[in-house]
Every structure is written in C-alpha cells, then in structure tokens.
Structure 1
Amino acid sequence: MGKTINLVKLSVGIDSVEHLQTYRARILREGGPKHPRHITRMWPRREKELLNGGSIYWVIKGVIQCRQRVIRLDEVIGEDGIRRCAIVMDPEIIRTQSAVRRPFQGWRYLEPADSPADLGKGAVAGDDLPVELMSALADIGVR
C-alpha cells in the first residue's frame, strides 16, 4: 500500500462539531448529496496519496476537532465555466484530539504522523483544556 496524506481545512461559519453535524444533517434532509463535499478551486497535486485513506481534518474555532475520510475527487464546472475540485467525503464525522491551528487560506497537507489521533466513539474532544480556552490561547499565540 502506498503513502497517505491528509488535508487540513478551516470550517468557516461552524462553531462546534455538533454544529457541523447539524449542518450536514440539514443538507441531507433538504435533498443534498448522500456524501458531503467541499468544492475548492485547486485540485490536490497529491491526489493519489489523499485517496489512499486520507481525511480532511476540520479546524473549528482555531482548533482541529474532527475529520472526515476522503472518498473521491470529482470535477465540477462552475456557472462561470471554471473547473473546480469537489472533495467528496464519508458522511461520518470522527472526533479527534484537539490541535491548535492558526488561520490560513485554502487547505494544507497534513502528514499522518502530524495528524491528531481519533477519539473513541461518543467521546468529546477533551484535551487538558476546553476547546474554547485552547482557541483563546491560539488567538493570542500562546498555544
């Protein structure tokens, strides 16, 4: 089996893992796709590694809190005629250990060795500090 790579992406407008779950459930109820997708302008150059078991790690309020496994990449042509990449994900949202991330544009590659570990089923991100405190520390550059 070849090498795997993950992505890390800001989840803009989402306040918590529960908010992300509620948002995804609403889209599905309203007839949206069975598998959620994130549309981006850039096509991952490391596509083969990403599709070899990679995930998107979601940064919520300055902290990686969960991930979704990447299933495939679909080409999407916008109304403006520009080719984009739809990153199609497994609907399961897996909670991870918390990891502070500074704001950035787009997405970044994340090596498996640097990726936060999964938490057990039903677990809530519970590092030594609450997520809100970790976010505040990240905002002032302390953690």
Structure 2
Amino acid sequence: MHMIKLCVGVSSLAELESYRDERAHWWDADYGEDVHVHRTRMMPKRAAEMEGKASIYWVIAGQVVCRQPILRLARYTNAEGIDYCDIIMAPDMVRTLPYPKRPFQGWRYLRPEDAPPDVGANENAESLALAADLAKLGLI
C-alpha cells in the first residue's frame, strides 16, 4: 500500500527538491541520517504494510510526477501534547509518468495497481513534456 499527497504551494519537481531539504530543520526532526521528513497529522492505520515497502507519490500542479520510498513512519508529539506522524523517506525522487489527480485534503492510500509507473532512465525531457500534456487532456 502506498500513500499519495498534494504538494500545496509547490509548482514543480525542482521546487519540491529544493524545499524538502529545508523541511526537517523547520520541524526539529533530525533523524541523524540522510533522509527527508514530512510531518502530517495522522498516523496511517496500515503503517506495517507501508514501512520499507511503500512510496509517497507527490501531486504537483494537478499531476502525480514523482515518488519517494518510505523508509519508516515515526510518531512525534509536540510540546502541547499533539501527536503527529513523521514520514521518513529516502532522499531519492523517482520520476513517474505524469498522471492527473484532482485536489484532495490530507493524504490518501494508493493501491500499487493504481500507482503510475516510473519513468525509465532513457526518457528525455521532450517525451516527459508530451506525456504531461497528454495526461492533462486525460489521454493517458
């Protein structure tokens, strides 16, 4: 089971890559290793199915464009006693075939069979742009 999440306020994959490096420092979430952390309010009930096996698929500008492998999920409690979930991810961004996704709130589960495929290493920028345009038109 995977997770899918909107990148609110992020307009491109390049922007997400620069933004993610700062995120853990804002939350004082230093796990002492080269990982990226995203903090969310709810801990997945299916965490055992996800840790070390799943990815978080990022929706940017109305399309799923990449994924990050989820290494583990950690509970975090702030000074006011509010519980959160830290999604601890591998630093690698894996590009996916652009896939349209309507807005939603929070995160959602994503079944493996519904996840867009990874883009191959031999894909070039022109073919990715064409795929993104076709996805916007609902043709792929």
Residues 27 and 108 of structure 1, relative CA distance in 2, 3 Å threshold: closer
Aligned CA-pair RMSD:
3.0
- The answer on whether the counterparts of 2:24 and 2:37 sit within 8 Å (CA) in structure 1 is no
**Residue 56 in structure 1 maps to residue 56 in structure 2:** yes
Give the share of equivalent positions with the same residue, in percent: 37
Indicate the residue corresponding to 1:104 in structure 2. 104
Indicate the residue corresponding to 1:66 in structure 2. 66
TM-score normalised by structure 2 residue count: 0.81
Aligned pairs, how many?
134
- The answer on whether the counterparts of 2:57 and 2:68 sit within 8 Å (CA) in structure 1 is yes
Unaligned runs of 5+ in 1: none
Give me the whole-angstrom Cα distance separating, in 2, the residues matched to 1:23 and 1:80: 26
Residues 81 and 53 of structure 1, relative CA distance in 2, 3 Å threshold: same
**Residue 47 in structure 1 maps to residue 47 in structure 2:** yes
TM-score normalised by structure 1 residue count: 0.79
- The answer on whether the counterparts of 2:52 and 2:72 sit within 8 Å (CA) in structure 1 is no
**1:12 aligned to which of 8, 11, 16:** 8
Give me the whole-angstrom Cα distance separating, in 2, the residues matched to 1:122 and 1:24: 26
Indicate the residue corresponding to 1:118 in structure 2. 118
Give me the whole-angstrom Cα distance separating, in 1, the residues matched to 2:4 and 2:38: 12
Unaligned runs of 5+ in 2: none
Give me the whole-angstrom Cα distance separating, in 1, the residues matched to 2:41 and 2:25: 27
Residues 127 and 111 of structure 1, relative CA distance in 2, 3 Å threshold: farther
How far residue 122 of structure 1 moved from its aligned partner, in angstroms, is: 7.3
